[in-house]
Chain A
C-alpha cells in the first residue's frame, strides 16, 4: 500500500544551520507530495508541494524536490531560524480523489 517514511526526530540545530529532513515514499503510479508544518499549539499548515517528478516545491526558504528515481522528497533549508521550530510532516496523495497519507512527523528545535 501507500506509505511515507520520515527520518526520526527530534532534530536540534543552531540558528543559521543547514536543515535536511529526509522523506521517502512507497506508492504506485505518480503521487503528489506535500510537506506540512505544525507550529506549537496550532493545526497543520501546508508548507510546499510537488505534483510530478522533478518538480521543486518552495516556500519560506524551504525547498523539496520530487525524485521519482529515489522515491524521495527531502525537505531542505539553507539557514534555519528559531521561528522554524515546529513539527514537519511529509505526506502523499494518489490521484485527485485519494486521501492524504502522512508520515510520523519530525520535530525540529532551533536554538539561538
Chain B
C-alpha cells in the first residue's frame, strides 16, 4: 500500500515552460487536494476534487489547472511557469469531507522556476 505518490520529486523549469505534476493514490479515496507551500509559509490549497470528473478551486488557483478522470489520479498542470510558482507542491487525499476525515499527504514536489 503506497498511499499517495507524487512525481517528480524535484524539477527546474524556465519561465514560460509547462509541466504536469503527477499525483496517484491507491486508497480508493474520493477526495483529493493540491497544496503549495512557499518558504516560511503554511500550506495553501490550490485545487481540490470530490470525485472523478469533479474539481473546484481552492485559495490560490491562478496559473494552474487540474483534471480528475479517474479516482486514483489527480494531475496538476502549470501552463506558463512563472517565478512566483516556485514552491513545494503537496498532493493529499481523504476518504470523506476534510472536516471529518484525515488527509493523507504525498512527499511533495519541489519546483523551481528560473
Contact = CB atoms under 8 A, between A and B. Distances in A.
Given A97-B97, A99-B48, A104-B42, 17 more contacts: A44-B43, A44-B92, A46-B103, A89-B42, A95-B99, A96-B98, A98-B99, A99-B45, A99-B59, A99-B98, A100-B43, A100-B45, A100-B103, A101-B42, A102-B44, A104-B41, A105-B42
A75 interface: no
A93 B106 CA distance: 20
Interface of B is mostly: loop
Interface string A31-47: 01000000001111110
B107 A46 contact: no
30 contacts: A4-B42, A32-B99, A42-B107, A43-B92, A43-B104, A43-B107, A44-B43, A44-B90, A44-B103, A46-B102, A46-B103, A93-B99, A95-B99, A96-B97, A96-B99, A96-B100, A97-B97, A97-B98, A98-B98, A99-B48, A99-B58, A100-B43, A100-B98, A102-B43, A102-B44, A103-B42, A104-B40, A104-B41, A104-B42, A105-B42
B12 to A, nearest CB: 19
Contacts of A93: 98-99
B107 A41 contact: yes
Interface residues of A, number: 23
A7 B45 CA distance: 22
Nearest to A6: B42
Contacts of B4: 43
A99 B45 CA distance: 8
